[in-house]
Amino acid sequence: MEESVVHELARLMGIEPHYFDIWGNRHEVSIETKKALLEAMGLPVKSDEAMRLELEKRLLPPVLEPSVVALAGAGIDMTVFLPGCTAETSFRLVLVNEKKKAERFCIRLAPREAVETPRGKCGRYVLPLKPLREGYYNLSVVASCPGSKTEAHSFLIITPGPCFLPDGYDRAWGMTLGLHEIRSRRNWGIGDFRDLGDLVDWIAGLGGDFVGILPLHSIALPGRVSPYSPVSRLYRNFLFLDLEGAPEFAEAAGSIGREALEAEMFSHRRGKYVNYRGIHALKLRVLKEMFRIFHERHYLKRTARGRALEAFKKKEGGDILGYATFMALSDMYGLNWRDWPADFRDSGGAAALSFREKEPRKVLFHIYVQWLIEDQIGSLSRRAAERGMRAGLYFDLAVGVMSGGSDEWNFRDSLAVGVAAGAPPDEFSRGGQNWGFPPFLPSRMRENGFALFIKTIRKNLEHAGMLRIDHAMGLFRLFWIPEGMKPEQGAYVKYPTAELMGILEIESRRRKAVIIAEDLGTVESGVRETLMGGNMLSYRLFYYERLYPSAELVPPGLFPPRAFCAVSTHDLPTLCGYWAEKDIAIKRRLSLYPSEEAHRDDLSARRRDKAIIVNALKKEGLIPDNYEIPDRMNEELMFAIYRHLGRTPCLFVAASLEDWLQSEEQPNMPGTTDAYPNWRIKAPVHLESFAGDDNGFLAAAFRAEGRGRR
């Protein structure tokens, strides 16, 4: 095979020829990697002749761009290329909006120019479209050239302008947490939506404007518990349900035995870590009994409650049916569809459809569960608004879904098979990272009108005042790793940035929700500026904001206003853990350092950074000039650090639950699976013991800097 053909096809498909790791080392992408990625994109790589024909086809200009972004209220010029047609031509256009209303019109045009292509001359025509309202449109064009007809389609994304940002307020603050962490005297061993409601009440009462939660996505229970490795980003994890708040609970508890339930709840509640397996089994058993009661008393009798579930099912349409069918099949065959009997591996196949018809109750059970979740989250969102929170609930969107899960099964045509997204080598993972999820296919996204991306954004914005986009650099490019290769052998693949940002702008404005772009790590030049130009808030961390190449902290006044800032994330140490150097000790104990020298370098840098932090706080007048660096974090120092953040012009500032409770335990240790209790660590104290504090330790730090509602 001619390598030049592979290189040129890779370029045309957006595969970058090299990448730089975090240390600035250049890595050339191999021919083997390019071929594997092209195959994952659906291109023929087995035959030299097929590859040459594919290249020849892709070198031709498209008849019509498959997707176009334009501003609402502005005219649009659509370029059409017609092979072999250079004369005046008739065009028939059909424009269909989101409500399926069609407009038809005809126009006759002469070409603007004749363009030379490998297959001869091609006429370039420009079709003027009238200004359109914001939203999505499907455009079909039929050109009647002498002796032939050409048909083409385009998906129009008409954006109202940059993402939503609230008018009339700034300098807001709130709390962030993983809901699983909440330890309370009444939950079932894992935080639930009733606990979240109590937190909303408390933070709202202190003048906070949001409560941010790690992803609530449906995960591969009871095994894989990371909220960032979901089976679906469209539906949610039932472990967070407040079962006692559902009408069917009391009777279900009586059927099962209240004493036995209480004993099991107490056992899970008192455990040091979240027992996902045990809580999953307990809540599932109760949910099934609740569903039995609901089905007999309400669904079959078509009561108001039964009709409400039907209305939810109708609203969700094919998406909830696909998810519920997957979950029902996974109850029998496991949570990876690749391991199922062959007949069931096709979500649209006869076997899957037959199963749905023959086992309607098994499918309806999972719809019932999601309906309960939707109802409780909707109530929480309204509660936040009633308490005066200006942003309310802040949700987190994971960057992808696990291979073998529901979204992949139901939307396989939108995702690349045979590759996984990840990251090149960096300080956390010197061999790179394989995140294990199939990335979107950029070409297929454009061809199918970005259907899955729109569904995902729209679903996660329901009931949200803010949405954090994990790894927002994925709007520009993603690092693809071919199956069977090491992460460092991967390559970056470009994505249709304008279209993805246009969709976020439309959905953000419709929901009146703020978009936060998590822009940490290896960030290309110009990415942050583009995101902020679209009113997406930059994600800034106290630990990382430095006056590079110096290690000095950025003064509060130099933080960007269009930003969301915090001390840390779930993957980094808490302030108490950072100061105690606990994360460094754990990484050494777990052999996560490649050498003892790397450990010593990390330790030296941490001790330097602690001195830098103390000096920066002295310059701001937040601690006395004679303040000495303590061995352990204390309230005075933490209060000063949060005042430092509160002093920035950033639109939003967050305090983590871990810092509020002065915990040393970070929720997740990157580079580990079972060696560290990732996503299992509970808060050190009960919710009831701190949520009644009328002053609020860190709320006072924000008030001292004029943040929050007065």
How far apart are alpha carbons 160 and 139 in whole angstroms?
19
pLDDT value, residue 1: 54
Quick one: what percent of the chain has pLDDT higher than 90? 86
User: Residue 315 above 90 pLDDT?
Assistant: yes
325-353: per-residue pLDDT in tens? 999 999 999 999 999 999 999 999 999 99
Residues 6+ apart with CB under 8 A from 226: 219, 668, 678, 679
Q: Looking at residues 549-557, what average pLDDT do you find? A: 94
Q: How confident is the model at residue 36 (pLDDT cuts 50, 70, 90)?
A: very high
Q: Looking at residues 303-322, what average pLDDT do you find? A: 97
pLDDT value, residue 710: 66
Q: How confident is the model at residue 520 (pLDDT cuts 50, 70, 90)?
A: confident
Q: Looking at residues 74-94, what average pLDDT do you find? A: 93
| 562: nearest Cα among 163, 210, 213, 161 | 163
* N-terminal to C-terminal alpha carbon distance within the chain: 70
188-241: per-residue pLDDT in tens? 999 999 999 999 999 999 999 999 999 999 999 988 899 999 999 999 999 999
pLDDT value, residue 117: 84
How far apart are alpha carbons 153 and 139 in whole angstroms?
6
Q: How confident is the model at residue 42 (pLDDT cuts 50, 70, 90)?
A: very high
Q: How confident is the model at residue 563 (pLDDT cuts 50, 70, 90)?
A: very high
User: Residue 549 above 90 pLDDT?
Assistant: no
Q: Looking at residues 638-664, what average pLDDT do you find? A: 97
Q: What is the mean pLDDT of the chain?
A: 94
Q: Looking at residues 379-400, what average pLDDT do you find? A: 97
| Widest pairwise Cα distance in the chain | 89
Of residues 595 and 499, the one with the higher pLDDT is 499
pLDDT value, residue 428: 63
| Tokens coding 75 | 């005219």
Of residues 17 and 45, the one with the higher pLDDT is 17
121-180: per-residue pLDDT in tens? 999 999 999 999 999 999 999 999 877 899 999 999 999 999 999 887 778 999 999 999
State which amino acid sits at residue 582. Answer: K
| Backbone dihedral region for residue 589 (phi beyond 0: left; psi -120 to 50: alpha; all else: beta) | alpha
Q: Looking at residues 286-304, what average pLDDT do you find? A: 97
Residues 6+ apart with CB under 8 A from 626: none
pLDDT value, residue 636: 96
Strand partners, 68: 156
SS3 377: helix
Neighbours of 548 (CB within 10 A): 9
533-544: per-residue pLDDT in tens? 999 999 999 999
Q: How confident is the model at residue 610 (pLDDT cuts 50, 70, 90)?
A: very high
pLDDT value, residue 432: 83
* pTM given for the model: 0.95
Q: How confident is the model at residue 417 (pLDDT cuts 50, 70, 90)?
A: confident
How far apart are alpha carbons 533 and 525 in whole angstroms?
14
pLDDT value, residue 16: 96
Quick one: what percent of the chain has pLDDT higher than 70? 99
pLDDT value, residue 198: 97
pLDDT value, residue 591: 92
Write the DSSP assignment of 637-705 as a string of letters: HHHHHHHHHHTS--SEEEEEHHHHTT----S--TT-STTTTTTTBPPSS-HHHHTT-SS-HHHHHHHHT
pLDDT value, residue 185: 96
Domains and their CATH numbers in the chain: 3-59 (no CATH), 73-159 (2.60.40.150), 542-679 (no CATH)
102-109 and 89-96 beta bridge pairing: antiparallel
| 352: nearest Cα among 333, 369, 370, 368 | 333
How far apart are alpha carbons 483 and 113 in whole angstroms?
45
pLDDT value, residue 672: 87
User: Residue 54 above 80 pLDDT?
Assistant: yes
User: Residue 47 above 90 pLDDT?
Assistant: no
Candidate from 54-63, 446-455, 644-653 with smallest mean pLDDT: 54-63
**Residue 290 contacts residue 255 (beta carbons within 8 Å):** no
Residues 6+ apart with CB under 8 A from 268: 188, 189, 190, 275, 278, 279, 282
**Residue 129 contacts residue 138 (beta carbons within 8 Å):** no
Q: How confident is the model at residue 548 (pLDDT cuts 50, 70, 90)?
A: confident
Q: How confident is the model at residue 529 (pLDDT cuts 50, 70, 90)?
A: very high
**Residue 419 contacts residue 35 (beta carbons within 8 Å):** no
